[in-house]
Structure 1
């Protein structure tokens, strides 16, 4: 696994994914996960498919953090109400 904290617009490219694949190969691993707070170039995504590397970009990371409540906190809850039509029925 490798994680990069990049600013928005500073994308992870093919070369970085290829280097990660080389590191995986040296460790005898046949798959890996690469996470960034930014995004990946198209060529990086193609390389990742070739090398069996799972990519998680900033948007996906944010969604996973919210889904699994990791590194987030509830700021406010909302209550949604609807009219109970049966309550107002006249027999």
Structure 2
């Protein structure tokens, strides 16, 4: 079924020219970026929070593309605070 599934990911981008372009090239037009927040904190890497919409059945290909990119990344969709980020669960639940 072609329903897009949303996923929230955290990345560490190297602080070098072309790092964001490399990420965008890896994602290409195959998957939709629904959220992109970059934070530079003066280190050798920048922190990125990114939402991706991936058609059902393409998660494996998406994860392989992210791994091939070589940037450290974490799927935040399983994080216990993820429902609070989305506003689907209160802090007291």
Report the TM-score when normalising by structure 2: 0.31
**Which structure has more RCO (C-alpha within 8 Å, separation ≥ 6)?**
2
TM-score (norm 1): 0.31
Rg bigger for which structure? 1
